[in-house]
């Protein structure tokens, strides 16, 4: 009998980590690593993501504004584009962007693939054309070989390029944050203050928009719901697409994953700190002024959302040859 | 007797790869991996190398113009700096730069450490000041901790910053090119054409300047020795430092290691292809016009000088905080 008890205890101890519930009632779900990735395509996409030859200047790559050393952003108010153009809007993070309902702040691209083609041809960003980008890649024998291995044909087109970039971007999820570990049942993963911050985050209504595995990215909401948002930034949000006045300042709710790394905040990059962003959100979206103590608790919670950053070897790019059109940084 | 012979044969076969001579008579030596690296310092230096917060804009890092995905260069004629400034000279590769007799085309920095401070404070490059760069780093708690771990003090200064960057740059050697394998005794490592190119490289006098383990980097020579070099680039070379007319157009001989990756060529970046560069060098430095066949042999040889590119995980940078001065890309 004593032996049976001992065995049962041992079995319980062994099973405990696996049977611990993952807090199913929570409005936020654990973020999981990417699955079913086409590795050849993703590796090719990684090279393209880091390749400034997709820009007219040969100087700007996807990684310039969605820098994977810096939370998948450029940490600038608004971005720098071709000719040092001042971008119109804050670069959203590429991390976990596969979870977004749509891409760009106004959701004008349906998915990562559609998004990837945008900046290449935007005169204020990479300032190239799809045709010139393709003729550049087609002039790089190392790429021609890799496209053939990946797609079964050496004919490169923008469809394949954006497929590959999107496949790489799907790998850029950031699991295993301390909050995820808490969601998975590890009570020690959050401090009391962080946990209090999470409770406040839910009770005060932040959770209404920042929910799901990415804590956002899954709906469009008006910036300045209770009180109007003051900004010098001319972006109109969804109204810029629909022309409907009610869509003015309606933006995709940004993810709060890795928010400690993706400063400054909001579509205009106007909030430099998390404390400032939480304060503005409270007043303008929830009609609530957080006390400094409440603010500090929520900020503490938000910092527990930093997950494992993508880890991979810096890619080596295939060299240009005599057949490759050279970049054109200083000419029209 | 038969048994002894067998044993001797076996011993010979076993020893053969180790006793194969490394062609000691050659004027070019095998390039060897970095030794005696301070790993903590080099890892810190790697982060600093990739950190655009060392620039005024928060957009330009060492890696912007010495891109380790692209042979340690930007593959531009001349570089792009702060405000899209057009740089005065072609960015030399950082690869194997620890072997250089001095740094910059005119050798104005004695070593890697002295070089590393230059672009940070150059108004046409990163456009910062050492003081502002240090106050930025000092405002990033992750860096303060890492400097303390590495240098034993949390006080950051430009001396420590450039020490760390230089330590990382010392790791950027590219061993094991096919030519190195040939130098080590592997007769199969070079094709007949490449070997003929190497013989021609020696016989025609290229070797007079491009020798040593880096095939260059170890002397200053006049560009346009036999016939004058025509260029619109205003760089004067060493004369810009000494004021001596005889030093006009005297530049550090660039390394030929990884030359296939470091296009375009010369201090003005005016030669787009290796064939063009070899042709100009022959006529202007050696008074010799290579036939297309000779040119093609030398180019084939030069392409065998591409070594193993540095391979490491893209660093994740410590985030800025409320204490960190934000970047200033668009203001004076």
Paired tokens of B322 = 């409320």
What pLDDT sits at residue A2?
52
pLDDT level of residue B6 (50, 70, 90 thresholds): low
Whether B317 and A69 lie within 8 Å, measured CB to CB: yes
Q: What is the mean pLDDT of chain A?
A: 94
Whether A314 and B68 lie within 8 Å, measured CB to CB: yes
Give per-residue pLDDT as tens, A56-109: 999 999 999 999 999 999 999 999 999 999 999 999 999 999 999 999 999 999
Contact A186, A176 (CB under 8 A): no
> Can you list the domains of chain B with their CATH numbers?
39-170 (1.10.760.10), 178-303 (1.10.760.10)
What pLDDT sits at residue B156?
98
Picking from A50, A80, A319, the nearest residue to B57 by CB comes out as A80
**DSSP structural state of residue B221:** E
Nearest CA in chain B to A66: B59
Higher-pLDDT residue of B91 and B2 is B91
Residue B39 in this model has a pLDDT that exceeds 80 = yes
Nearest CA in chain A to B319: A261
Picking from B70, B312, B326, the nearest residue to A272 by CB comes out as B326
Those of residues 26-45 in A touching chain B at CB distance below 8 A are none
Residue B178 in this model has a pLDDT that exceeds 80 = yes
Give per-residue pLDDT as tens, B234-282: 999 999 999 999 999 999 999 999 999 999 999 999 999 999 999 999 9
Side-chain-side CA neighbours of B267 within 13 Å: the count stands at 25
Catalytic one of A125, A167, A169, A194 = A125
Which residues of B fall within a CB distance of 8 Å from A71? 319
What pLDDT sits at residue B30?
95
Confirm or reject contact between B123 and chain A (CB < 8 A). Answer: no
Which SS3 state, helix, strand or coil, does residue B254 take? coil
Q: Tell me whether residue A125 is one of the annotated catalytic residues.
A: yes
Helices (H), B171-258: 178-183, 192-203, 239-242
Contact B220, B250 (CB under 8 A): yes
Picking from B74, B84, B316, the nearest residue to A84 by CB comes out as B84
Whether A316 and B69 lie within 8 Å, measured CB to CB: yes
pLDDT level of residue A4 (50, 70, 90 thresholds): low
Residue A160 CB partners (closer than 8 Å, separation 6+): A147, A150, A151
Picking from B64, B76, B86, the nearest residue to A327 by CB comes out as B76
Residue B288 in this model has a pLDDT that exceeds 80 = yes
Contact A241, A283 (CB under 8 A): no
Whether A320 and B275 lie within 8 Å, measured CB to CB: no
Picking from B69, B86, B275, the nearest residue to A315 by CB comes out as B69
Higher-pLDDT residue of B11 and B146 is B146
Residue B316 in this model has a pLDDT that exceeds 60 = yes
Give per-residue pLDDT as tens, A168-226: 999 999 999 999 999 999 999 999 999 999 999 999 999 999 999 999 999 999 999 99
Whether B67 and A84 lie within 8 Å, measured CB to CB: no
Residue A13 in this model has a pLDDT that exceeds 60 = no
Confirm or reject contact between B55 and chain A (CB < 8 A). Answer: no
What pLDDT sits at residue B331?
84
Confirm or reject contact between B74 and chain A (CB < 8 A). Answer: yes
Higher-pLDDT residue of B171 and A22 is B171
* Catalytic center residues of B: 125
Confirm or reject contact between B120 and chain A (CB < 8 A). Answer: no
What pLDDT sits at residue B24?
81
Those of residues 228-267 in A touching chain B at CB distance below 8 A are 260-261, 263-264
Give per-residue pLDDT as tens, B119-161: 999 999 999 999 999 999 999 999 999 999 999 999 999 999 9
Whether A322 and B273 lie within 8 Å, measured CB to CB: yes
Rg (CA), chain B: 23
Mutate one of A46, A143, A314, A321 to test the B interface: name it (highest B CB count within 10 A): A314
Q: Assign residue B237 a region (left: φ > 0; alpha: ψ between -120 and 50; beta: otherwise).
A: left
Q: How far apart are CA A193 and CA A187, in angstroms?
A: 13
Best CA proximity match to B159, nearest among B189, B123, B141, B133: B133
Side-chain-side CA neighbours of B287 within 13 Å: the count stands at 2
Nearest CA in chain B to A61: B64
pLDDT level of residue A15 (50, 70, 90 thresholds): very low
Q: How far apart are CA A109 and CA A91, in angstroms?
A: 15
Whether B75 and A322 lie within 8 Å, measured CB to CB: no
């Amino acid at each position: 009998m004593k032996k049976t008890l001992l065995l049962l205890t041992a079995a319980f101890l062994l099973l405990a980590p696996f049977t611990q519930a993952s807090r199913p009632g929570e409005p936020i779900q654990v973020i999981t690593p990417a699955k079913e990735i086409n590795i050849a395509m993703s590796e090719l996409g990684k090279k393209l993501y880091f390749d400034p030859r997709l820009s007219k200047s040969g100087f700007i790559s996807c990684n310039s504004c969605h820098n994977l050393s810096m939370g998948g952003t450029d940490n600038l108010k608004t971005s720098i584009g071709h000719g040092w153009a001042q971008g119109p809007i804050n670069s959203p993070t590429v991390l976990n962007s596969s979870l977004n309902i749509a891409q760009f702040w106004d959701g004008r691209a349906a998915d990562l693939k559609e998004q990837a083609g945008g900046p290449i041809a935007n005169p204020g960003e990479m300032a190239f054309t799809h045709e010139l980008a393709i003729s550049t890649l087609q002039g790089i024998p190392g790429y021609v070989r890799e496209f053939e291995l990946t797609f079964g044909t050496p004919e490169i087109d923008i469809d394949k390029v954006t497929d590959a970039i999107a496949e790489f971007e799907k790998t850029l999820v950031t699991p295993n944050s301390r909050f995820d570990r808490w969601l998975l049942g590890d009570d020690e993963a959050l401090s009391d203050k962080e946990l209090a911050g999470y409770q406040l985050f839910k009770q005060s209504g932040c959770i209404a928009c920042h929910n799901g595995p990415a804590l956002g990215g899954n709906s469009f909401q008006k910036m300045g719901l209770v009180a109007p948002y003051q900004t010098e930034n001319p972006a109109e949000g969804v109204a810029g697409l629909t022309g409907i006045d009610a869509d003015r300042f309606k933006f995709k709710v940004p993810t709060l994953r890795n928010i400690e790394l993706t400063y400054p905040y909001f579509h205009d990059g106007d909030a430099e700190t998390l404390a400032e962003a939480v304060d503005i959100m409270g007043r303008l979206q929830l009609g609530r002024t957080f006390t400094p103590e409440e603010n500090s608790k929520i900020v503490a919670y938000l910092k527990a959302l930093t997950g494992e950053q993508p880890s991979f070897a810096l890619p080596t790019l295939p060299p240009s040859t005599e057949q490759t059109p050279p970049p054109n940084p200083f000419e029209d």
